[in-house]
C-alpha cells in the first residue's frame, strides 16, 4: 500500500491482502479482552444475540471493510485518497478500541462513547468512499447497521448494569 504512488494492476492482489490483514488486526488486538465472568454476570436484554453469532458476523464485516478500502485505495492510493482512507483508518482504530474498553476494562459507559464516535466515523467514511467508489460505500452499509445495533446494545447493557 504505497503512500506515494498509485497502485498498479500488479499490486492488486497484494494490496487486497494488505487491506485484509490490516482490517483483521483490529479484532486480533481485542482477542486479549474477551468476555469473562464480569460479562456473564451482566443483566442482558432478551434481544441480546447469542455469543456464537459475533464471530461469523464480524468476519464477514471485516472482509467487506477490507474490500471497500481496497477499492478506494485502487483509485490513486494514499496520494489521491488520503482523506477517505484516513477516515477509514480512524474508524478502524475506534473499532479496535471498543473491545478492550468494554470487555477488558469493564467500562461500558466509555465503550459507548467510543462506539458512538465509531458510528460517526463510519458515516463519514461511507460519505467519503461514495465520492470515490459507490460500491465501496455500499460495502460499508452492513457494518454501519451492525454497529448501530451494537450501539443500542452497548447503551442498554450500560443502563441495565449501573
Q: What confidence tier does 29 reach under pLDDT thresholds 50, 70, 90?
A: confident
C-alpha to C-alpha distances, 116 to 22, 34, 72, 86, 123, nearest whole angstrom: 22, 21, 24, 18, 11
Residue 4 forms part of a structural domain: no
Residue 38 forms part of a structural domain: no
Residue 120 forms part of a structural domain: yes
Domain count for the chain, please give it.
Answer: 1
Residue 2 forms part of a structural domain: no
Residue 44 forms part of a structural domain: no
- Least reliable range by pLDDT among 29-33, 35-39, 104-108, 131-135: 29-33
| pLDDT at position 3 | 44
Residue 33 forms part of a structural domain: no
Query: Is residue 121 within 8 Å of 144, Cβ to Cβ?
Result: no
Q: What confidence tier does 33 reach under pLDDT thresholds 50, 70, 90?
A: confident
* C-alpha cell at position 70: 481496497
138 or 30, higher pLDDT: 138
Helix ranges (DSSP H) in the chain: 12-30, 37-41, 54-73, 77-99, 108-132, 134-139, 141-160
Residue 54 forms part of a structural domain: no
Residue 35 forms part of a structural domain: no
| pLDDT at position 4 | 46
User: Which structural domain, as residue segments, surrounds residue 83?
Assistant: 12-27+60-160
pTM flag (> 0.75) = yes
Q: What is the mean pLDDT of the chain?
A: 92
Amino acid at each position: 500500500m504505497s503512500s506515494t504512488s498509485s497502485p498498479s494492476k500488479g499490486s492488486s492482489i497484494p494490496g487486497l491482502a494488505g487491506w485484509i490483514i490490516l482490517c483483521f488486526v483490529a479484532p486480533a488486538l481485542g482477542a486479549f479482552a474477551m468476555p469473562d465472568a464480569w460479562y456473564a454476570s451482566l443483566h442482558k436484554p432478551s434481544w441480546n444475540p447469542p455469543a456464537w453469532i459475533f464471530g461469523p458476523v464480524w468476519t464477514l464485516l471485516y472482509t467487506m471493510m477490507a474490500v471497500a478500502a481496497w477499492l478506494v485505495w485502487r483509485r490513486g492510493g494514499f496520494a489521491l485518497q488520503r482523506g477517505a482512507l484516513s477516515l477509514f483508518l480512524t474508524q478502524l482504530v475506534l473499532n479496535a478500541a471498543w473491545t478492550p474498553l468494554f470487555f477488558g476494562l469493564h467500562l461500558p459507559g466509555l465503550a459507548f462513547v467510543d462506539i458512538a464516535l465509531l458510528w460517526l466515523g463510519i458515516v463519514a467514511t461511507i460519505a467519503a468512499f461514495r465520492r470515490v467508489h459507490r460500491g465501496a460505500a455500499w460495502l460499508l452499509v452492513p457494518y454501519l447497521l451492525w454497529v448501530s445495533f451494537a450501539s443500542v446494545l452497548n447503551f442498554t447493557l450500560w443502563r441495565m448494569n449501573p
